[in-house]
Amino acid sequence: MKVLTVVGARPNFMKVAPIIAAINRHNEDSDDAIHHVLVHTGQHYDAIMSGAFFNDLQLPTPDVWLGVGSGSHAVQTAEIMKSFECVLAAERPEFVVVVGDVNSTMACAVVTAKVAWDCTGARPSVVHVEAGLRSFDRSMPEEVNRVITDHVSDLLFVTEESGLQNLRNEGIPSDRIHFVGNTMIDSLLAFKEKAEASTVLERLGFRNRAGGISDYALLTLHRPSNVDDPDAFLNILAGLNDLGHECPIVFPVHPRTKQRIKDFGLRPEANGMKIALIDPLGYLDFVAVMKHARLVVTDSGGIQEETTCLGIPCVTVRDNTERPVTVEHGTNTIAGTTAPQIRAAIRRQLQRRSKGVVPEKWDGHAAERIVDLLVRASADPANAHARHLAVDGRRPDFTVGSSVPEAIPA
Ligand code: UD1
């Protein structure tokens, strides 16, 4: 059985790491080894957006590096598709696993769904991890990616109840859908103790010599709708003003956001807010900062889930969420994006007492369930695509884009 897994952008790495670890455990215990191939599209390529995560999450060096880099949605997606088709032809896996909702996810799913090895239309099965999430907001590039990926997938692994319902409503046959839990939470649970050894809180001045931790808030912003328009960005900063006078805000700045701050000449600290703009953090440092924050303000998808699991109040600076379980059972609130809405949501969340409930199956075992289901699907003669193992088991003797790096490029 050969499984090819795709990663491309920062939020993919922690979703894939537990799947690779579960495959390795399977291979230790079973005579039927799974041959695994890791492909990195290069959508994110900086050391701080990619390389650091490979170290922290103990991910293997990718077998194939496509080196597509940045570009408009069309250019980036097209480059990934062109390169990935060659990899698929050379590797001929039985399953292609894509995770989340970034451009790399959608591009590789579509390519896999449309290849045909012979006149019967034989091809690998498309496996989508984190299927079924819907914001019902088609202006989000991620929502378009989610819908397309789910509709070309053969196996859909769902993280929360809403995902099951959404997929059923869209007419996806139920025998393709499995509620397995959340591999991003597998990573969080696996690494949260290790993150305690991070010295990031000392470096930021939040932990004193006696080990006491002072109050601070954590902020992340990268969504184009929030940072690409100066008025929208200024509105959010105005909404954060009260918080920034009450306690320091630490703000690891995504490259897109950094560029916009420069383009618009913004000075977030200008009105007296205590706000520290720092480079993006690696995985373990970020988990350490999130775990001890009094409050997290974000427009990320994954951070809504991680704060729910950690019981940390979260204010989501958006008008919707594709992860409703974080609001219904967890610690998340959807603030909206105007200054008064953000201010009010922060006030509410600072007074919050409940730590919420960890959603069903967010128990650290999602990846094991996924690997078990892949093994079962492979053994099932009814699996339409199960015939197409590697032609001769060789690795491809080429790389696409740049060469395969010894380590992820810095
Ligand atoms: C992408 C995902 C988004 C995810 C986010 C996490 C899509 C549509 N969006 O958005 O869902 O939440 O990643 O970060 O796939 N850049 C660098 N270094 C890098 C990568 C990017 O400097 O390693 C800069 C480039 O100028 C690039 C910009 O960041 O143009 C945005 O990168 P891009 O991959 O297009 O989208 P993200 O905003 O990161």
Contact assessment for residue 43 and residue 392, using Cβ atoms and an 8 Å cutoff: no
Cα 317 from Cα 297, distance rounded (Å): 7
- Please tell me the distance between residue 256's alpha carbon and the centre of ligand 1 in angstroms: 7
* Other residues' Cβ atoms within 10 Å of the Cβ of residue 209: 6
140 in ligand 1 pocket by Cβ < 6 Å? no
Q: Which residues contact 38 (CB under 8 A, 6 or more apart)?
A: 4, 5, 7, 16, 20, 59, 60, 61, 62, 63, 64
Which residue has its alpha carbon closest to ligand 1 atom 13? Answer: 9
146 in ligand 1 pocket by Cβ < 6 Å? no
71 in ligand 1 pocket by Cβ < 6 Å? no
The model's pTM is: 0.93
Which residue has its alpha carbon closest to ligand 1 atom 34? Answer: 43
Contact assessment for residue 124 and residue 97, using Cβ atoms and an 8 Å cutoff: no
**Distances 347 to 311, 314, 337, 339, 407 between C-alpha atoms, Å:** 17, 11, 15, 12, 45
Cα 90 from Cα 11, distance rounded (Å): 27
- Please tell me the distance between residue 300's alpha carbon and the centre of ligand 1 in angstroms: 12
**Distances 186 to 71, 132, 383 between C-alpha atoms, Å:** 31, 19, 28
Mutate to test the pocket of ligand 1, among 222, 228, 323 (most ligand atoms within 8 A of CB): 222
Question: Six-digit token pair at 102?
Answer: 């970034």
Which residue has its alpha carbon closest to ligand 1 atom 17? Answer: 255
40 in ligand 1 pocket by Cβ < 6 Å? no
Mutate to test the pocket of ligand 1, among 15, 66, 68, 70 (most ligand atoms within 8 A of CB): 70
Residue type for position 323? R
Q: What is the pLDDT along the chain (410 residues), one digit of tens a residue?
A: 999 999 999 999 999 999 999 999 999 999 999 999 999 999 999 999 999 999 999 999 999 999 999 999 999 999 999 999 999 999 999 999 999 999 999 999 999 999 999 999 999 999 999 999 999 999 999 999 999 999 999 999 999 999 999 999 999 999 999 999 999 999 999 999 999 999 999 999 999 989 899 999 999 999 999 999 999 999 999 999 999 999 999 999 999 999 999 999 999 998 899 999 999 999 999 999 999 999 999 999 999 999 999 999 999 999 999 999 999 999 999 999 999 999 999 999 999 999 999 999 999 999 999 999 999 999 987 765 544 443 444 444 434 443 344 444 43
Q: Which atom of ligand 1 is nearest to the CA of 45?
A: 23
Give catalytic status of residue 26 as yes or no.
Answer: no
Point out the catalytic residue in the list 40, 44, 178, 222.
222
- Please tell me the distance between residue 190's alpha carbon and the centre of ligand 1 in angstroms: 26
Which is nearest to 386 in space by CA: 156, 98, 122, 110? 122
Contact assessment for residue 167 and residue 123, using Cβ atoms and an 8 Å cutoff: no
Cα 117 from Cα 140, distance rounded (Å): 34
Which residue has its alpha carbon closest to ligand 1 atom 21? Answer: 44
- Please tell me the distance between residue 33's alpha carbon and the centre of ligand 1 in angstroms: 35
- Please tell me the distance between residue 28's alpha carbon and the centre of ligand 1 in angstroms: 36
- Please tell me the distance between residue 9's alpha carbon and the centre of ligand 1 in angstroms: 7
* Other residues' Cβ atoms within 10 Å of the Cβ of residue 334: 18
Which is nearest to 203 in space by CA: 294, 292, 289? 289
Q: Which atom of ligand 1 is nearest to the CA of 223?
A: 38
